[in-house]
Amino acid sequence: MSSKCYWSIACWLHSTYKEKTSKTYQANGTIFEVNYGSGGIKGTVSNDIVNFGGIDVPKQDFGEITKLSGISFIVARLDGILGLGWDTISMLHIPPIFEVMAQQGLIDDASFSFYLTKAPGAAGSKLILGGVDSKYYTGDFNYYPLAAENYWLIGMNDFVVNGTSYKAENMVGIVDSGTSVFVGPTAAINEIKKGFPALINCTLIETYPTIQITLGTDVYNLEPSDYILKETLAGQSECILGLIGMDIPRMPNAWILGDLFMKKYYTHFDMAGKRVGFATSVAPSHITSE
């Protein structure tokens, strides 16, 4: 968000980039606009030294936001969005910062990994730049080659709920830390939801079925406590089914494996190897102190 963002409430409530205080700022001026499912942003491209994870990245282009729409940006605790995908889907094809770090040799291992805690707002989640950390997972990684270098897109063989398969032709999975839930084709999700009550009873969570996701020949099990979100407000608990239907253009059988999946499976995004790997996450209580 930019200090020049005068008319959007979200900018008043968050930290902003102040180009006038930077001696290394370089103007670009290219106008951009991005529309998200929960709002949109507008602004201009700027250039400066960007520090990411303690590493200075010189002459990095980024979007300086001057206008935002949507309630989500007002209530969110984030001051901006840092994409870790590929430049093929980057706005104006601006090279994402991690890709630049790898190309410039600023990092030894051109990969990163996520460990996510299950409880909302709980401390302990980690983004690790340059490989994986063995204390956050158990067992071995299973790796899957990228189906394309746009999203972190991998082949997917099946999605089974209560014995019913939703396997389809050209089925793919998008591994995305920016998506909180599971997203799947609208028709499939609507059919799956018929097996659940409109209101999820928090005391009956364990009676719901296990979801099985097949990648390659590997089956990943998700228990109901993994895919049902439990929110507590003012002492009252509410449970929500973490499955949302959305049809992604040009990928009719795409599923998004978001945070609900990544919370259970420590995820390694290997840019150099053009693959994604998963290993079973360990419980926070089993992690050794740093």
pLDDT at 18: 96
pLDDT at residue 28 tops 70: yes
| Banded model confidence at residue 81, pLDDT cuts 50, 70, 90 | confident
Q: Distance between CA 132 and CA 214 in Å, rounded?
A: 23
Q: What is the pLDDT of residues 197-246, one digit of tens each?
A: 999 999 999 999 999 999 999 999 999 999 999 887 767 789 999 999 99
Check: CB of residue 165 under 8 Å from CB of residue 199.
no
Q: Distance between CA 77 and CA 191 in Å, rounded?
A: 34
pLDDT at residue 116 tops 90: yes
Check: CB of residue 267 under 8 Å from CB of residue 257.
no
pLDDT at 72: 80
pLDDT at 47: 97
pLDDT at residue 276 tops 80: yes
| Banded model confidence at residue 261, pLDDT cuts 50, 70, 90 | very high
Q: Distance between CA 64 and CA 32 in Å, rounded?
A: 9
Q: Distance between CA 24 and CA 116 in Å, rounded?
A: 35
Mean of pLDDT values over 61-86: 89
Q: Distance between CA 166 and CA 178 in Å, rounded?
A: 24
Q: What is the pLDDT of residues 128-166, one digit of tens each?
A: 999 999 999 999 999 999 999 889 999 999 999 999 999
CB-based contacts of 225: which residues, under 8 Å, 6+ apart? 205, 206
Three-state secondary-structure class, residue 261: helix
pLDDT at residue 36 tops 70: yes
Q: Quickly list H helices, the chain.
A: 9-12, 71-75, 97-103, 186-193, 224-227, 259-262
pLDDT at residue 62 tops 60: yes
Q: What residue ranges of the chain are covered by domains with CATH 2.40.70.10?
A: 9-103, 111-286
Mean of pLDDT values over 257-279: 97
* CATH code, 111-286: 2.40.70.10
Distances (CA, A) of 100 to 68, 79, 174, 178, 193: 27, 22, 22, 20, 42
Q: Distance between CA 185 and CA 168 in Å, rounded?
A: 10
**Neighbouring C-beta atoms of residue 54, cutoff 10 Å:** 6
| Banded model confidence at residue 25, pLDDT cuts 50, 70, 90 | very high
pLDDT at residue 290 tops 60: no
Q: What are the tokens at 207?
A: 């009676």
* Best-predicted range by mean pLDDT (29-38, 73-82, 87-96, 271-280): 271-280
| Banded model confidence at residue 289, pLDDT cuts 50, 70, 90 | low
Mean of pLDDT values over 29-33: 93
pLDDT at 136: 96
Instruction: Specify the fold of 9-103.
Output: Cathepsin D, subunit A; domain 1 (2.40.70)
Tokens 């889907």 found at = 89
Q: Distance between CA 131 and CA 109 in Å, rounded?
A: 6
pLDDT at residue 70 tops 90: no
| Banded model confidence at residue 283, pLDDT cuts 50, 70, 90 | confident
pTM above 0.85, yes or no: yes
Q: Distance between CA 279 and CA 120 in Å, rounded?
A: 21
pLDDT at 114: 98
Q: Distance between CA 182 and CA 243 in Å, rounded?
A: 5
